[in-house]
Amino acid sequence: MNRQIQTEADELGFFGEYGGQYVPETLMPAIIELKKAYKEAKADPEFQRELEYYLSEYVGRATPLT
């Protein structure tokens, strides 16, 4: 069995044959706006530095709930 995992969504938001997004139609304009803003932010080195900081300092840390 040869399975290939798609880690990036295609232009329609799908991950392979079945994986996609379920969003109420009324939210689609906001989702499209968010996707556009994130695409622009990904190209910004300052955004990348800040994102890397938060990922390294906060992701995976213990919380008051754990």
pLDDT tens across 6-50, in order?
677 777 777 777 777 778 989 989 998 998 999 999 999 999 999
Tell me the two tokens of residue 15: 């991950």
Is 1 a member of any domain? no
- pLDDT reported for residue 6: 64
Number of structural domains (the chain) is 1
Query: Is 42 contained in some domain?
Result: yes
CA 29 to chain centre: 17
Output the pLDDT for position 61: 80
If one compares 32 and 62, the residue with the highest pLDDT of the two is: 32
Contact 36, 29 (CB under 8 A): no
**What integer pLDDT is reported at residue 53 of this predicted model?**
92
Task: Identify the pLDDT of residue 1.
Answer: 58
pTM given for the model: 0.56
Whole domain around residue 53: which residue ranges? Answer: 25-57
